Structure 1
Amino acid sequence: MKIAVVHEWLATYAGSEKVLEQILLMFPQADLFSVVDFVPEKERGFLQGRTPRTTFIQKLPKAARWFRHYLPLMPLAVEQHDLSGYDLIISSNHAVAKGVLTGPDQIHVCYCHSPIRYAWDLQHQYLQESGLTRGLKSWLARGLLHYMRLWDLRTANGVDHFVANSGFIARRIRKVYRREAEVLPPPVDVSGFALATEKEDFYLAASRMVPYKKMPMIVEAFSRMPDRQLVMIGDGPDMDRCRAAAGPNVKILGYQSFESLRSHMQRARAFVFAAEEDFGIAPVEAQACGTPVIAFGRGGALETVVESEDPAQRTGLFFAEQEADAIIAAVERFERGPAFDPAVCRQHAEKFSTEAFRARFLDIIARITR
């Protein structure tokens, strides 16, 4: 078969790009398409030597820095990819990639990281965080998001088989597209995070410091627990808020190398995760290090962290509200409860390995193309 792989946009090597990397490894003969390609030279290894075919947005003014501002043009742009010569199209989608045009004799498999979050159930959160709750700009943004919803729903009809990265996203797909999706968790490089059984007396939070990650809330919670140490890794728009809320027991390291992040994950007493994620790779990486997770009990964390009375299954615990008080109560419950077994955490994380992802994805492709 002649295969095309369509990815949203290429600007960095992050979560969805790690999925793309595995797809390209499985299908080395595939051609790659994207809206834009601005991946720095030092990060291009995951593309395995490919030069993606891009759209007219690649050449628009200041696109390298501001390509997301061209979102209103992306539906038109992605429809210009000519895929008529391909038998199998695999799209890696969280915005517009699944909108490529396909014919009745082509098979289109969409690995869906999420329907467009900010156009559907997270619209009001997006408008609030962007300062677009009132005024002319607000109404322009609302009109654009309304258009994106209509286009997103229409293009769902061009997908033959949806694969969701979690049950949470499968439910979102069912809600907005009225389509069923097969669940396949994204690949986690479990082999890159060695098991460590000796833990030190600090908690770890590591993430991009963007609003929905709730990093300042974690800082606030630990600042109110001065006898407990928190190490925070990451950078982003909420860095100043984190620094302002930090007490003497909170150490904010900013951006760190992979080696430093892994070392802290291996040594931490527990990993604290407060976001409502579609999946959430960081909690799996922590468990691969043998470190239990204290997580907000919604979204993908419910599928990657196991709260159980059985010590042979238990890998963490949940808090029910995105509030500092809830984190404090969870930490206290964590310390009162029985100890977690690092080997159990590691064993659970291995279910999300890159090898497991590739085996299941190839099985899905074989099943629907036979």
Structure 2
Amino acid sequence: MKVAIVHDWLTTWAGAEKALAQLLACYPQAEIFTTVNFLKPGSVACLEGRAIHTSFIQALPGARKHYRRYLPLMPLAVEQFDLKGFDLILSSSHAVAKGIIPDPNAIHICYCYSPMRYAWDMQHQYLRQSGKEKGMVSMLMRWQLHRLRQWDYLSAQRVDHFIAISDYIKRRVELFYRRPAAVIYPPVEIDKFNPNRERGDFYLTAARMVPYKRIDLIIDAFNQMPDRELIVIGDGPDFDTLAAKAAPNIKMLGYQSDDILIDHLERAKAFVYMAEEDFGILPVEAQAAGAPVIAYGAGGAEETIVDGQTGMHVPEQNADALRACIAMFEAQQASDPMHYSTDACAKQAEQFAQGVFTEKVTHFINDKMRQ
């Protein structure tokens, strides 16, 4: 069987790329198609020796650093891929990958991380953060996003079957594309964690320092709880601003290696997370490490954390609601130290293991290929 895997772009190795790695493990003969590939040669073992086809954007000026500026050209770019003769096309998509023009004889299955957020429900936030809310440039960008939405909807009709990464994304696929979707959670490397280490007396959060991760809310909450220690791991554009507002009980460690992050996850009293994520790998990794998770109860966290057993759902995305939940969490632990057991947390994480992902994906694809 001839298989093509289409991925939006290869510039970093993050959550979507880890799912891509598992798709490649399922189909080792697959060829890869992507708008740009700027990963350092030899840096990713699963890509070694594979045919990787890039689009014309790869050669455009400044694409290495500013490939996102070419977003208006990406629909055209992916439509130029020649997929004639492939039996199975898997698009790994949160932007444009699903928009390829498939061979009519092929089955096209899209593993969808999200409909294109900046073109749909996050348009206003995207314009606000880029400082383009008003003026002629704003009007031009709004027109481009309008056209991008039209293309995004129409190209979704070329997909035979959708797989969403969560029920939350399934609802968005149904809303924006008017298409049904199965749900298969992304793979998480849970085996690298030891949930049985002695817990410390600190709270932990980790994320890229960008606005939607809402690290600011977590810092605001712990600024008002000077007797509780918070450790923050991660770097990004907002790091200096966040570090400047952090009280002495908050340790801003910046970027750390995986080994350091794992060590803190395995020892944390609890992991705190206030972003509204499509899925959210870190809260699952925290549970795999035996740490209960106190997270904003929307998006993926609503599905990955069992409220009252492996963590708590914060009802509102603000600092006061987070402080109230931490107080409740500590009261529950004081009355029953095993209320949030490491075993329960680790067991909850098992359903997101890599092996579960590959088994469900191959079963789904084989079933569709037989139809």
TM-score, normalised via structure 2 length: 0.97
Q: Percent identity?
A: 52
- The one-letter amino acid of 1:325's match is D
Per the TM alignment, residue 131 of structure 1 is displaced from its structure 2 partner at its CA by 1.5
CA contact (8 A) 2:231 2:250 kept: yes
Matched residue, 1:362: 362
Rounded Cα–Cα distance in structure 1 between residues aligned with 2:48 and 2:42: 12
1:329 aligns with 2:302: no
Name the CA distance, whole Å, in 2 between partners of 1:366 and 1:87: 12
Q: Is the 8 Å Cα contact of residues 112 and 164 (structure 2) preserved in structure 1?
A: yes
- With 121-130 and 71-80 compared, the bigger mean Cα shift is at 121-130
Output the amino acid matched with 2:287.
Q
Partners of 2:62 and 2:177 in 1: CA distance: 34
| Equivalent in the alignment of 2:43 | 43
Q: Match for residue 311 of structure 1?
A: none
* 1:106, distance to aligned residue in structure 2 (A): 1.2
Structure 2 alignment gaps of length 5 or more: 334-338
- Consecutive aligned runs of 4 or more in structure 1 exceeding 4 Å deviation: none
Give aligned pairs, total: 365
| Gapped regions of structure 1 (runs ≥ 5) | 309-313
The answer (yes or no) to whether the contact 1:216–1:241 under 8 Å persists in 2 is no
Q: Equivalent residue for 1:315?
A: 310
For residues 137 and 193 of structure 1, the distance between their equivalents in structure 2, rounded to whole angstroms, comes to: 48
- What CA RMSD, in Å, does the superposition of the two structures yield over aligned residues? 1.0
CA deviation profile, 1:202-247 (whole Å, cap 9, x unmatched):
0000010111001122111111100000000000011022112100
2:225 is equivalent to residue 230 of structure 1: no
TM-superposed deviation, 1:160: 0.3
The alpha carbon displacement at 1:104 in A equals 2.7
1:174-229, Cα deviation, whole Å (9 max, x unpaired)? 00011110000000000111213411000000010111001122111111100000
The answer to whether the 8 Å contact 1:165/1:279 transfers is yes
1:60 and 2:60 matched: yes
Residue in structure 1 matched with residue 336 of structure 2 by the alignment: none
Structure 1: distance between partners of 2:197 and 2:64: 44
| CA distance in 2 between partners of 1:133 and 1:60 (Å) | 28
Matches within 5 A, 1:16-31: 16-31=16-31
Question: In the alignment, residue 209 of structure 1 is paired with which amino acid?
Answer: M
Deviation string 1:295-334 (CA, Å, 9 cap, x unpaired) is 00100000100013xxxxx100011222111111111111
Worse-matched range after superposition: 180-189 or 139-148 = 139-148
Q: What is the alpha-carbon distance in structure 2 between the residues aligned to residue 48 and residue 354 of structure 1?
A: 20
CA contact (8 A) 1:294 1:330 kept: yes
8 A contact 2:85–2:103 mirrored in 1: no
Aligned runs of 1:233-272 on 2, under 5 Å?
233-272=233-272
Q: Once the two structures are superposed, what CA deviation does each residue of 1:132-162 show, in whole Å capped at 9, x if it has no partner?
A: 2111221111111101100000001110000
The alignment partner of 1:186 has SS state of coil
Residue 141 of structure 1 corresponds to 141
* Whole-Å separation in 2 of the counterparts to 1:295 and 1:197: 22
Matched, 1:120 2:112: no
Deviations 1:34-68 (A, max 9, x none): 00000123532232432410000000001111111
Give per-residue Cα distances to partners, 1:110-135, cap 9 Å, x unaligned: 00000001111111121122222111
Q: Deviations over 1:227-284 (max 9, x none)?
A: 0000000000110221121000000000000000000000000000010000000000
Counterpart of 1:192 in structure 2 is: 192
Quick one: which amino acid aligns to residue 276 of structure 2?
E
Q: Are positions 1:154 and 2:154 aligned together?
A: yes
Which letter maps to 1:5?
Answer: I
Counterpart residue number, 1:6? 6
8 A contact 2:207–2:213 mirrored in 1: yes
User: Who is 1:344 aligned against?
Assistant: 344
Counterpart-to-counterpart distance in 2, 1:198 and 1:127: 46
- Conserved 8 A contact 2:220-2:319: yes
Are the equivalent residues in 1 in contact too, given 2:83–2:103 (CA < 8 A)? no
Contact 2:86 2:103 in 1 (8 A): no
1:353: which partner in 2?
Answer: 353
Amino acid at match of 2:324: A
2-structure distance, mates of 1:241, 1:359: 44
Partners in 1 of 2:193 and 2:46 — Cα distance? 19
CA contact (8 A) 2:232 2:254 kept: yes
Note if 1:110 corresponds to 2:105: no
Displacement of 1:21 in angstroms is: 0.2
- Whichever residue aligns with residue 356 of structure 1, its letter is V
Q: Could you tell me how far apart the structure 2 residues matched to 1:212 and 1:356 are? A: 29
Instruction: Using the TM superposition, name which of 316-325 and 166-175 deviates more.
Output: 316-325
SS at match of 1:41: coil
Distance of 1:219 and 1:154 partners within structure 2: 42
Aligned letter for 1:227? D
Do the aligned partners of 1:5 and 1:90 also contact (CA within 8 Å) in 2? Answer: yes
